[in-house]
Amino acid sequence: MEKNFKLSREEESRMTLSEIAAGIEVTAEQEARGVAAVDETGADLVERLRNHTDALPCTPEAAATVVETHAAGTSVGESAREAGIAPVTAAKALHRCGVSGVTPLSPMARQVVRDWQAGELSRAEAVELTGADEAEFALGSYIESHDADPGLSAAVADVGSSGTEDPLADAVGDVDEFF
């Protein structure tokens, strides 16, 4: 059913949506498509990490210990001691699992490392410009050359969160705080 008609500008501006849609009918149905999802939250963290062993700088057991203890508020160094690995390895594992904030370098120093990796600076110049010691520079270089692994990030997504607490609860006041 097709309607051909011409309206003046004044008439167009007064038309309602129902008048515009009059006579439109659905002639085909959309095919329902779902989103494929993999839910591994019921599996043990070590087992979820074991599926991504090649992306880890340590064993899945050590990575699970580091992720769980760090999520509970423990420092990277203490988490490493709990897992029996070097702190730099713990920081690498956390980074690969998508935990942010484990780089020892400032944003400017990170840019210097990227410039060194691109061949624009010598290593000696880059170390001097970052102001980092050798271990910090090495960890920063690793972080800049290795992205977080999406599989590992998904595997640890539920660690440390009960799902019921508001992460900003202590940052915001009550609704009637200023009344």
Q: How many CB atoms lie within 10 A of CB 137?
A: 22
- Residue range of the domain that includes 124: 45-155
Give yes or no for a contact between 111 and 129, defined as CB atoms under 8 angstroms apart. no
pLDDT at residue number 39 = 46
Total count of domains within the chain: 1
- Judge whether 168 lies within some domain: no
- pLDDT score for 170: 58
**Confidence at residue 8, expressed as pLDDT on a 0 to 100 scale:** 64
In a domain, 80, yes or no: yes
Q: What six digits make up the tokens of 135?
A: 């271990």
How far is Cα 172 from Cα 9, in angstroms, rounded to an integer? 51
Number of H helices, E strands in the chain: 10, 0
**pTM score > 0.75 for this model?**
no
CA-CA distance, 132 to 109, in Å (whole number)? Answer: 8
Q: Is residue 98 part of a domain?
A: yes
Give the span between the Cα atoms of 71 and 65, in whole angstroms: 10
Instruction: Report if residue 38 sits inside a domain.
Output: no
> What is the structure's pLDDT at 162?
47
Could you tell me the mean pLDDT of each successive run of 10 residues in the chain, 179 residues long? 60 71 71 50 78 92 93 90 94 92 92 95 95 93 92 86 53 56
Evaluate whether residue 108 is within a structural domain: yes
Is residue 178, in this structure, part of any structural domain at all? no
Amino acid at 35: V
Please tell me the predicted confidence (pLDDT) of residue 95. Answer: 93
Q: Does 137 fall in a domain?
A: yes
pLDDT of 145 reads 93
In whole angstroms, what is the distance from residue 114 CA to residue 124 CA? 14
Tell me whether residue 171 is in a domain: no
